[in-house]
């Protein structure tokens, strides 16, 4: 008998028919004697719908109120799934994040889980209940409802699995595992039977939304066995493996991630003096705006052009702050571009294989794509390109690094 945490994403609970199918699936695990905790997302499109309602009233609603609103999506699904389980003769109880007491910090709309009070859940499990917990939400010390950022139900699931010391955390979604790149963009993308935790962390942080980055962080920190599976098709899915395979067996590149959510800002003609980077980026950080890629070009007239990227949602605010800084430090004009995208190749094999960067640049050059910015880490190389070239870039890299599936390969392990 094992304890399993199963998370079902928005599409998998998108209508009543699917909710009943999920209930059937959960009931089958219970029939085997497993204890099951289910984490659900809002029905597909619901979080966006709620967000749009809020924006009909205010451009920037208070984050506290936004959280109260957005958290309702998941609450609806918990009740519906519990009812569907009850209908099948399975004892089930629904819980909101606050009811469980998933304690978070108070960073509304992007809160981090601090602690989970698992006593109540353990009590219910002992009494034979399936627990259906609302993903994506928690409560802060002051009793305010918080949400964990888009895709946050993954994190709820992994955090619950860690708190309950579950045998496995299964993330059920609308694809049958983690692929070499988003299978919706590249037809020839191949399912990976295993990906290392480190690689998954980079893929998620570079934009592969199949798992929320915090979920992967949690899994790594608390050693939670994590698997991504299709909600309605049987198959082994993808195991996020905690051990690194030996370099001999490791392919150089595990996958390609991309992200359209960035925008780039440039401040021209800033004085080339010590401390100028801090003068520019300090206030951006204080405004709670995260900076990603940074490039500084020194020109011959003792000034620097300073370019960096931020999340697209933060662009307007970043521009405001930057214009003010430009005034204060006597820099030139501030320009911005939101039609950019970031493409990253990720693989632990990079550590032992030289030449990945040159292969990447060659592949992009061959299809006529200009690289606007470059950034690297030990197991990842990212480039910023014009958004209109994104798809071409991903396809060119996928093929250059030999990631396509063999047409004969049925994707079985
Ligand atoms: P859910 O609603 O179940 O949480 P998401 O839409 O958040 O599902 O995540 C699943 C989606 O992630 C897939 O439909 C796919 O388009 C996308 N995706 C992006 N990169 C990858 C990848 N490398 N492997 C698999 N899916 C990916
Ligand atoms: N419903 C939330 C979202 O759409 C959380 C999730 O699905 O994980 O982002
Ligand atoms: Mg998701």
Write out the DSSP string of 289-353: --EEEEEEEE-TTSEEEEEEEEEGGGHHHHHHHHHHHHHHHT---EEEE--EEEEEEE-GGGGT-
Residue pLDDT, tens place only, 270-283: 999 999 999 999 99
126 vs 224: CA distance, rounded Å: 22
Determine the pLDDT at residue 232. Answer: 96
Determine the pLDDT at residue 248. Answer: 47
Whether the CB of 49 sits within 6 Å of ligand 1: no
**Burial class of residue 371 (count of CB atoms within 10 Å of its CB; 0-12, 13-18, 19+):** middle
Q: Which helix (H) or strand (E) holds 384?
A: strand 380-386
Determine the pLDDT at residue 38. Answer: 98
Closest CA to 69 of 78, 57, 81, 79: 57
For atom 1 of ligand 1, the residue with the nearest CA is 9
Mean model confidence pLDDT for the chain:
94
Ligand 1: centre distance to CA 239 (Å): 15
Higher pLDDT, 300 or 409: 300
Split at pLDDT 50, 70, 90, the class of 345 is very high
Phi-psi region of 26 (alpha: psi -120 to 50; beta: other; left: phi over 0): alpha
Split at pLDDT 50, 70, 90, the class of 8 is very high
Two structure tokens written together for 190: 């191949």
233 vs 172: CA distance, rounded Å: 10
Two structure tokens written together for 309: 């990227």
Whether the CB of 73 sits within 6 Å of ligand 1: no
262 vs 326: CA distance, rounded Å: 22
25 vs 251: CA distance, rounded Å: 35
pLDDT at position 247 over 60: no
Give, as one character, the DSSP assignment of residue 201. H
pLDDT at position 52 over 50: yes
What is the number of the ligand closest to the CA of 148? Answer: 2
Determine the pLDDT at residue 242. Answer: 80
Two structure tokens written together for 293: 């890629």
Split at pLDDT 50, 70, 90, the class of 407 is low
267 vs 296: CA distance, rounded Å: 10
Percent of the chain with pLDDT over 70: 96
Two structure tokens written together for 271: 């004085």
Q: What angle in degrees, to the nearest 10, is found between the helix axes of 63-87 and 46-57?
A: 150
What is the number of the ligand closest to the CA of 77? Answer: 2
Ligand 3: centre distance to CA 407 (Å): 28
Q: Which domains does the chain have, with CATH numbers?
A: 3-242 (3.40.1160.10), 261-338 (3.30.2130.10)
Closest CA to 257 of 148, 341, 374: 341
pLDDT at position 22 over 90: yes
Binding-site residues, ligand 2, Cβ < 6 A:
9-10, 41-42, 47, 73, 135-136, 150-154
Two structure tokens written together for 344: 């990253």
Taking only Cα atoms into account, the Rg of the chain, rounded to an integer number of angstroms, comes to 23
Determine the pLDDT at residue 408. Answer: 59
């Amino acid at each position: 008998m094992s304890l399993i945490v199963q998370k079902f994403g928005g599409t998998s609970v998108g209508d009543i028919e699917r909710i009943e199918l999920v209930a059937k699936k959960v009931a089958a695990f219970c029939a085997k004697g497993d204890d099951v905790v289910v984490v659900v997302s809002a029905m597909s499109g619901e979080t966006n719908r709620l967000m749009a309602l809020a924006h009909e009233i205010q451009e920037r609603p208070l984050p506290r109120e936004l959280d109260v609103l957005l958290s309702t999506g998941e609450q609806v699904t918990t009740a519906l799934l519990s009812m569907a389980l009850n209908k099948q003769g399975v004892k089930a109880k629904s819980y909101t994040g606050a009811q469980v007491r998933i304690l978070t910090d108070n960073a509304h709309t992007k809160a981090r889980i601090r602690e989970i009070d698992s006593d109540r859940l353990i009590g219910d499990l002992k009494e034979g209940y399936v627990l259906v917990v609302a993903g994506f939400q928690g409560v802060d010390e002051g009793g305010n409802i918080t949400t964990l950022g888009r895709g946050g139900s993954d994190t709820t699931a992994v955090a619950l699995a860690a708190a309950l010391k579950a045998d496995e955390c299964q993330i059920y979604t609308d694809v049958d595992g983690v692929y070499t790149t988003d299978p919706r963009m590249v037809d020839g993308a191949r399912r990976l039977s295993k990906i290392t935790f480190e690689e998954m962390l980079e893929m998620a942080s570079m934009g592969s939304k199949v798992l929320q980055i915090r979920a992967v962080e949690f899994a790594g920190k608390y050693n939670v066995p994590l698997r991504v599976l299709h909600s309605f098709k049987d198959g082994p899915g993808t195991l996020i493996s905690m051990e690194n395979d030996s370099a001999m067996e490791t392919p150089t590149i595990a996958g390609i991630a991309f992200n359209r959510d960035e925008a780039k800002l440039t401040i021209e003609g800033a004085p080339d003096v010590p401390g100028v980077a801090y003068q520019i980026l300090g206030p951006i950080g204080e405004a709670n705006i995260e900076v990603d890629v940074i490039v500084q070009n020194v020109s011959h007239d003792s000034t620097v052009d300073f370019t960096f990227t931020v999340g697209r949602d933060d662009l307007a605010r970043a521009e405001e702050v930057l214009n003010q800084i430009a005034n204060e430090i006597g820099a030139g004009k501030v320009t911005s571009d939101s039609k950019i995208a970031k493409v990253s190749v990720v693989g632990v094999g990079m550590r032992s294989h030289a030449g990945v960067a040159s292969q990447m640049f060659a592949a992009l050059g061959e299809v006529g794509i200009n690289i606007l910015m470059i950034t690297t880490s030990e197991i990842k190389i990212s480039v910023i390109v014009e958004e209109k070239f994104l798809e071409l870039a991903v396809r060119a890299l996928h093929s250059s690094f030999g990631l396509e599936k063999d047409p004969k390969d049925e994707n079985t392990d």
